[in-house]
Amino acid sequence: MPEMPETARVVVVTRPRAQADALAQAVAASGRTAVLLPLLEISPVEDAAPLRAALAELDRFALVAFVSPNAIDAAFAHIDAWPAAVPVAIVGDGSRAALARHGVTGDACTIFSPADSAHSDSEHLLQRLDLASYAGKRVLIVRGDGGRELLADALRAAGARVEPVAAYRRATPVLTAELATRLRALLAQPNDWIITSSEALRGLAGLVQAIDDDALMARLQQQRLIVPHARIAQTARDLGLEHVRLTGSGDARLLAALQSQE
């Protein structure tokens, strides 16, 4: 397929709606046009009783791990005050900011996170934890429905009594005629796409494939992606997308990558 003509690129921000505004505003402040296209819809769990029950026993856990800002926001809807003696584990700068919005900082309790903020994932978080110290102790993992098991499996292997609990649901948007029209318009030329989730990227590919237009998938593969994690970059390559910029975690790095590509 011939290369599409280079015109003014927009920046497509694909985060869930609740986390997209600040990044979109920063993109606009840099002089670029930001378009919001949430690729994951976040909603409450159908039955919040298990979540409330786990959070009612916070002071009985040796560690509480939150897998994302969404997990933090959903959990703190049921938390009056964080017990200072209970340490927290998080994987990225977005989660640290979410904790701070709820009044939890490193001054209030111990917060474990990857040593290098450019690598915000479970693998690097595990390097910061003394796994053996949790043997026989209760560890709560607050996450979305489903999700990766790496953190839970590593803690279980160390002898921890891991108790995962779902705090929210996530789903790819339903393909409507309106969404199909938006996707066609965005893929009509190469643009910059900020993708912060492998699940969201797979969802995007699924939506494009569901439109049943081979040329559209080829156009998706020509888009320029900016991603914070190696796992997302690998997902992109698996889907045939080759124009991928890996930045490391944090909005500042995403924005710097955008500016360096202009």
The pLDDT tens digits for 105-154 are 999 899 999 876 656 678 889 999 999 999 999 999 999 987 778 999 99
Q: How confident is the model at residue 7 (pLDDT cuts 50, 70, 90)?
A: low
Residue with tokens 């998080």: 90
Give the up-direction half-sphere exposure of residue 178: CA atoms within 13 A in the CB hemisphere.
Answer: 3
Render pLDDT for 189-223 as a digit per residue (tens, 0 to 9).
999 999 999 999 999 999 999 998 889 999 999 99
Note the pLDDT of residue 229.
87
The two three-digit tokens of residue 12, written as one number: 């497509």
pLDDT mean over 27-54: 94
Q: How far apart are CA 142 and CA 163, in angstroms?
A: 9
Lowest-pLDDT range of 1-15, 65-79, 213-227 = 1-15
> Residue 223 in contact with residue 238, Cβ under 8 Å?
no
Which of 47-56, 147-156, 248-257 has the highest mean predicted lDDT (pLDDT)? 47-56
Q: How confident is the model at residue 3 (pLDDT cuts 50, 70, 90)?
A: very low
Specify burial of residue 233 (Cβ count, 10 A radius: 0-12, 13-18, 19+). buried
In the chain, residues under CATH classification 3.40.50.10090 are 10-40+173-260, 43-170
Q: How confident is the model at residue 260 (pLDDT cuts 50, 70, 90)?
A: confident
Q: What percent of the chain has pLDDT over 90?
A: 76
Q: Share the mean pLDDT of the chain.
A: 91
Q: How far apart are CA 124 and CA 114, in angstroms?
A: 5
In CATH, the architecture of 10-40+173-260 is 3-Layer(aba) Sandwich (3.40)
DSSP-assigned letters across all residues of 94-154 = HHHHHHHHTT--TTTS-EE--SSTT--SHHHHHTTS-GGGGTTSEEEEEEESS---HHHHH
Prediction pTM value: 0.83
Q: How far apart are CA 242 and CA 190, in angstroms?
A: 13
Residue 5 predicted with pLDDT over 70: no
Note the pLDDT of residue 262.
57
Q: How far apart are CA 64 and CA 183, in angstroms?
A: 39
CATH class of 43-170: alpha beta
